[in-house]
Chain A
Amino acid sequence: MSAKITPMRSAAESALIDRFPAVKASLPGLASAREDAFAAFVAAGLPTRRNEAWKYTDLRAAMREAAPLAARPNDAEITVALKGPSPLARQGVVTLSFVNGHYVATAGTLPAGVSITPLAQALTDGHPLLGRIGALKLANGDLAMSLNTAFMTDGAIIHVAEGVTVDGPIALRFVTSGATAVATAARVLMVAEAGSQVMLVESHEGQGALAHQPNTAVEIIAGDKAVVSHVRLGLNSAGAVALSTLTADLGSETSLTSVNVALTGAVTRHQAFVRFSGGDARAQINGATLLSGTQHADSTLVVEHAAEPGGESRELFRTIIDDEASGVFQGKIIVQPHAQKTDGRMASNAVLLSENAAMYNKPELEIFADDVACAHGATCGALDDELLFYLMSRGISKAEAEALMIESFVGAAIDFIDHEPIRDILHGLVQDWLQARAARLNAGAPTVS
């Protein structure tokens, strides 16, 4: 009943608190921002179910131990980590690679009008955009973001000059690797100046089953009339407790498309905080999540319409849950009093494939303006029997019919990506997931249904 109970510090909390002074001394730059963020963490602790924003993801319970902050990898470790091909980067795509949260290499040639500075270098040498990191406070005291700010080691500052149209995506490849579990804190700031057009793709890869603890944050600041496309792919290590945050500030008449595809990781949470600071902006925020085993994935979204005309936001989250996995969608659309003419539509649909799967939906609206249209819809249930029957009556096996339905269900969220090769890669990954499911079903174990 009481909200004032301060739980005892967990082992992870104590470890983080003990670690901070030494880490702070060794990390360059933004000392006061780090300290403020850390103070916020000390005051609140790791979020539990008592914390409304984390109601369905008990981070304190999931993160029993705080993995040590990863040191800069040596050359041998880098070679091992980057051995395989990146799932999203293809020939000719500018790719920045990060191993355990540290920048290691850039492949490809930077297009004209784009500058990229590794964050560690920017923090040491100074950078004109450094002051904009976290300055807009879009995440509004969120704990994952506070921890990232306190511990950020490296990352990138990307600047796209006014009016520049960047051909092809800029890829960020984050790999967590090593013999023991590590924590990482990478931070990316991308400023897309007025009228520019750019696509940013991130892949988060973790090898093996270790319980790595990556915590990444990407901030996008889009100037007036900028067109930004963003894709995030979560392929964390099987045991990972992975946090990731996207913040986006939209100037007037900007357009943002962001698609998050979450596939692996024991406990993952991707959160997006999007603010419409200029009038008449447009955003499409999507999520496609496929879960099996005992995975838990959380998609949290806050969209704030803060300008007039309020612009248009569309959110589509599709979740497939198999075995004993659990999915979470928490979405909130806020319409400020002056953000008239806002048009917001949020939908979360989940399909539960197994009897013991669980889905938690919390689609919230907070509206202070009277001339707006906001809608939210949330559904969850099994695959539609009638559709299944229709397909099977045409000679398609049950397994195939299910696969077709699942593919089209999550595909709807992926199809908003304009860039065809990337879209195809993501569809391919969904098919891989379906094949793994088919293999599990054929083996007769360990599914529960």
Chain B
Amino acid sequence: MPAVQETIDQVKAIDVSEYKYGFITDVEMEKPAKGLTEDTVRYISARKNEPAWMLEWRLDAFRRWKTMTEPSWARVHYPEIDFQDIYYYAAPKMNGAPKSLDEVDPAILDAYKKLGIPLREQEILAGVEPQNRVAVDAVFDSVSVVTTFRAELAKAGVIFCSISDALQEHPELVRKYIGTVVPVTDNYYATLNSAVFTDGSFVYIPKGVRCPMELSTYFRINEKNTGQFERTLIIAEEGSYVSYLEGCTAPQRDENQLHAAVVELITMDDAEIKYSTVQNWYPGDANGKGGIYNFVTKRGDCRGKNSKISWTQVETGSAITWKYPSCILRGDGSRGEFYSIAVSNGMQQVDSGTKMIHLGKNTTSRIISKGISAGRSQNTYRGLVSAHRKATNARNFTNCDSLLIGNQCGAHTVPYIESKTSTATFEHEATTSKISEDQLFYCMQRGLSAEDATALIVNGFVKDVLQQLPMEFAVEAQKLISISLEGSVG
């Protein structure tokens, strides 16, 4: 059956023509010449005053990158990217690093205000619900302009700063972990990122610490013709916990801009990282003109026993999304989760999913993915679940639903399920009908129709997860949660 009217209206409300964050901030920017050579890499490294080993690491990545070719397996189509026609570094002009918010260009502060991102700690403290405090790292084009609550977090032993600052203040930590989850040569865009990454967040949660507040990074692309290459590294030591949220927006422009990020998560024994993304890059106009190319490599490594990594993503933006947040379940008893809602409108192309790689014993994973395509968009779920021979008693449950609105769009599902041990139990399904008979019976016994009961159970399940998100940044994400998948095509 086709999508219900309510869903159609809700998806329309976030159509590409309704993009609210397309404004441009006028600030004086500092950027080197366009193009990518070894000099560009050296410039970025020098500009950030990086240690020599970091420059070598970047140059090595750059040399490797030159020998690689762009991957073509994803179900996305775009004209060839001219990597020499991009600015690889763009930073607002400042006299040295800003020591306080007062030194930050008011135009930038104004931009974050418009986006609804609280950067002033006192304003946040004055809020009605002090328990909902969120520390923010605000990244504007290539640099982090401010990170809030650093001092307070430091009291708990938590390091939360931009990766540039981390390279100055904790180079040994960065050196120990960077590139250990996503190797330099992992893929074309990860290698490019390794060469030219400019900023991003660094989080270190020491042993036994439960991070006292939500951490978040807000990425804003502002400058024309720039690429944003952010790098985020989160390390959760034994028994620690952190919840991290990233948000992304960009101005409305006719040309495409490249965003190629790498995110690495590491959890030690009994640690947990909850990583949430509200991705709302400019999606281009209704005819597919402009928009961000979002080519992102995100991977978490559950190194320790009983550790847990959970990815939650709400994807509404970007002209093209190419993103597979993954979990390497290395530690025995570790757990990976992936919850995703991807809505595509206009001419958007989404090719997203996850990989759950079971290596340790008794590892478990769960994948819940909802894709909604409207307009002339294409929405693909691509996922891998694999169990190594030694991953005894591995378990996976996957559920992906797709919904189409209109018949000019497409929904595709490409799951790979590889099991090399008989003790692994993998279940993959893509229907809304196969939910617990007991729950269904319970609801129907109370007078709900079978359809209503199904919708209630399926939506309720996902809501449970998403409502834990710190949602103050993204009103549309909350709207999305209420979208019913009635009429799901499988």
Contacts and interface: CB of A to CB of B under 8 A. Distances in A.
A206 B293 CA distance: 54
Given A1-B188, A373-B1, A378 B417 contact: yes
B419 A380 contact: yes
Nearest to B1: A371
Given A367-B402, A367-B412, A358 B426 contact: no
Nearest to B392: A355
B422 A352 contact: yes
Interface string B1-12: 111000000000
A115 interface: no
Nearest to A353: B422
A409 interface: no
Interface stretch (B69-77, B143-151, B175-183, B202-210): B69-77
A356 B1 CA distance: 43
A52 B489 CA distance: 25
Interface in A336-356: 337-338, 340, 344, 350, 352-356
Contact of B422 (A355, A363, A368): A355
A428 interface: no
A378 B422 contact: no
Which of B406, B414, B423 has the most CB atoms of chain A within a 10 A radius of its CB? B414
B424 interface: yes
A376 B489 contact: no
Contacts of A350: 419
B110 interface: no
Interface stretch (B227-235, B280-288, B428-436, B460-468): B428-436
Contact of B389 (A356, A368, A380, A381): A356
A11 interface: no
A368 B423 contact: no
A219 B210 CA distance: 64
B415 interface: yes
Given A370-B3, A376-B430, A354 B416 contact: no
Contact of A52 (B3, B73, B433): B73
A4 B67 CA distance: 13
A365 B490 contact: yes
Which of A340, A358, A368, A380 has the most CB atoms of chain B within a 10 A radius of its CB? A380
B463 to A, nearest CB: 23
A269 B413 CA distance: 23
Size bracket, chain A contacts: 35 or more
Nearest to A375: B431
A357 B411 CA distance: 33
Nearest to A56: B418
Nearest to A351: B422
A380 B427 CA distance: 7
Given A337-B407, A352-B421, A375-B490, A366 B412 contact: yes
Contact of A361 (B188, B411, B428): B428
B298 to A, nearest CB: 19
Contact of A379 (B68, B427, B489): B427
Given A352-B419, A354-B422, A370-B3, A377 B431 contact: yes
A449 interface: yes
B404 interface: yes
A373 B412 CA distance: 13
B417 A360 contact: yes
A356 B421 CA distance: 6
Which of B406, B409, B417, B487 has the most CB atoms of chain A within a 10 A radius of its CB? B417
Interface string A1-29: 11110000000000000000000000000
A234 to B, nearest CB: 23
A3 B428 contact: no
Contacts of A380: 417, 419, 424-426
A370 B429 CA distance: 19
Interface string B417-457: 11111111111111101100000000000000000000000
B168 interface: no
B331 interface: no
A367 B426 contact: no
A373 B490 contact: yes
Interface of B: 1-3, 68-69, 71-73, 187-188, 389, 402, 404-431, 433-434, 487, 489-490
14 contacts: A1-B187, A2-B69, A52-B73, A354-B422, A355-B422, A363-B413, A365-B402, A370-B3, A370-B409, A372-B490, A373-B489, A376-B428, A376-B490, A377-B429
Given A362-B414, A364-B415, A376-B413, 18 more contacts: A3-B72, A350-B419, A352-B422, A357-B422, A359-B417, A359-B419, A361-B416, A365-B413, A366-B412, A367-B402, A371-B487, A374-B430, A374-B490, A376-B429, A377-B428, A377-B430, A379-B427, A380-B426
Q: Closest 3 CB pairs between A and B?
A: A352-B422, A374-B490, A381-B425
